[in-house]
Amino acid sequence: MQAIEQRGATRTAPPATPALPPSRIALGLATTAGALVAIALLPRLLGTTWRDVQGAVGHLGGPDVVGLLALWFAGLCCCSAVLTGSLPGLSHARALLLNLSGSAVSGAVPLGGALGVWLNTSMLRRWSFRGRDIASFTVTSNVVDVAGKLVFAVPALAVALAAGGVPQVHAAGGWAWALGAGGAVAVTAAALCCRDAGLRHLAAAAALAVRLRERLRPRPEPVALSRDAVAQRLADVRGRVGDRLRRAWPRLTAAVLGYVALQALLALVCLRLAGVALPVTTVLAAFALDRIASMLPVTPSGAGFAEAAACTVLLGAGGAAAPVLAGVLLYRLLLVVLEVPVGALALGGWLLAGRVPAAARRGRRP
C-alpha cells in the first residue's frame, strides 16, 4: 500500500494550481453553446415539438423521480468503488468527491476529461498522495473505465445487430466496422504499452510533444525530458498499473461492470417511463452508441452527438419521436447534467472546509 502522510504531519505545501487560460475558457463556452443549440434543434430535426416531448414525461411523479435518483446514486457509488480499487488508501468519501468534481468539469466543458484529471490531481496532492501514485491511479481508473464501456458496448451492439434489434438503422454495419476499428486501435495501443520496444516509441513521441509545446508556448522554467527519461517514467507507471490490476482485478471488474449496468438500467427505465416500448436489445444498442459518442471530446460529454446517436437507433427501430427524445434527454439529464451542479456544490464545500481550518490556524498565531 502506498504511503500516505498522516494529518498534522510536517509536509511541504502542495504546488499551486495553474489558472486556466482565457482562450480555453472561451473555447469551452463556445462549444457548450453550440451543443445546447444542437440539442434545442433536435425536436425539429426529429419531426416533433418540445410540447410533445414535455408531455411524454409530464406524468412522472415523486416516486418515479426518487427511483431514478436512487439508480443514479447507486451508479456513482460503483464508480467510486473503481477509484478506491485503483488507489489504496483512498477513502470512499474522497473517491465520491473526486468522482463528482471530475464529472462536473467533464460535463461542463469540452476536453473535460483532461481538465477533470487536472482537478483530481490537485486534490490528491492536497491529500498527500505522491506523484507516482497519482499517475498510476489515473491510468488504472481510466483503463478500467474505458475497458468496462467497451466490454459492455461491443456485445450489446453485436447482439442487437444479430437479433435484428436495429433493422432499419442506416449504415448499421458501418457502425459495427467503426467500433471494431476503434477496438483494434485500443488493443494495438495496449500492446505497445506492454512491450519495451513499444514503450520506447511512445516515450519518443511524448518527448517530441513536450519539445513542440515548449517551442509554441515557452515556460519560465522549461521542461527538459529525454526519451530515456520519459521511457523510465512510463515503465514505472506501467509496472505500478500492472501490479494494481493483478491485485485488485476482481474488485475493479465487479465495480466497473456494475457501474455500466446501472447506467444501462437507468437508460432503460427512463425510456420506459417516457413510453418507449422497444425491445431491450434495441435499448442496449442505443445505450452502447451513447456511451461511445460521449467519449468524443468535441463537446462536453459528447453533448449533441450522444443524443443524436441514441435517437437514431431508437427511431430506426420504430420508436415514436417525442417519447424517444424525452426518454433520451431524461437519461442524459440524470447522467450528465445533474452531476454538474451537484459536483460543483461538493467541490465548493470541500474548498470552503479546507479554508476555514486554515483561517482558524492563522488566527491562533501569536
* Reported confidence tier of residue 269, pLDDT bands at 50, 70, 90: very high
Q: Say what the alpha-carbon torsion angle 202, 90, 150, 240 is, to the nearest 10 degrees.
A: 30
* Reported confidence tier of residue 268, pLDDT bands at 50, 70, 90: very high
Q: What is the DSSP letter of 109?
A: S
Mean pLDDT for 302-310 is: 83
- At 271 the pLDDT is 94
- At 145 the pLDDT is 86
Mean pLDDT for 133-148 is: 85
- At 3 the pLDDT is 42
- At 205 the pLDDT is 61
Q: Which residue has the higher pLDDT, 70 or 217?
A: 70
- At 226 the pLDDT is 57
Domain parsing of the chain, residue ranges: 33-168+254-355
Q: For the chain, what is the mean pLDDT?
A: 75
- At 221 the pLDDT is 54
- At 65 the pLDDT is 92
| Distance, CA of 135 to chain centre | 17
Neighbours of 114 (CB within 10 A): 13
Question: Cell match 467533464: residue?
Answer: 106
Do the Cβ atoms of 302 and 293 come closer than 8 Å? Answer: yes
- At 349 the pLDDT is 87
What ranges make up the beta strands (E) of the chain? none
Share of the chain above pLDDT 70, in %: 64
Mean pLDDT for 48-73 is: 91
**pLDDT of 7 above 50:** no
Please indicate, yes or no, whether the overall pTM of this predicted structure exceeds 0.85.
Answer: no
Angstrom distance (rounded) from CA 189 to CA 212:
22
Task: Return all residues near 1 (Cβ < 8 A) that are at least 6 apart.
Answer: 88, 89
- At 77 the pLDDT is 92
pLDDT, tens digit, 9 for 90 and up, residues 65-119: 999 999 999 999 999 999 999 898 899 999 999 998 888 877 666 666 677 788 8
Q: Which residue has the higher pLDDT, 331 or 25?
A: 331
**pLDDT of 357 above 80:** no
Mean pLDDT for 158-168 is: 66
Do the Cβ atoms of 307 and 28 come closer than 8 Å? Answer: no
* Reported confidence tier of residue 355, pLDDT bands at 50, 70, 90: low
SS3 readout for 139-205: HHHHHHHHHHHHHHHHHHHHHHHHCCCCCCCCCHHHHHHHHHHHHHHHHHHHHHHHCHHHHHHHHHH
**pLDDT of 55 above 60:** yes
- At 81 the pLDDT is 92
Angstrom distance (rounded) from CA 239 to CA 280:
41
Most confident stretch, 124-133, 238-247, 357-366: 124-133
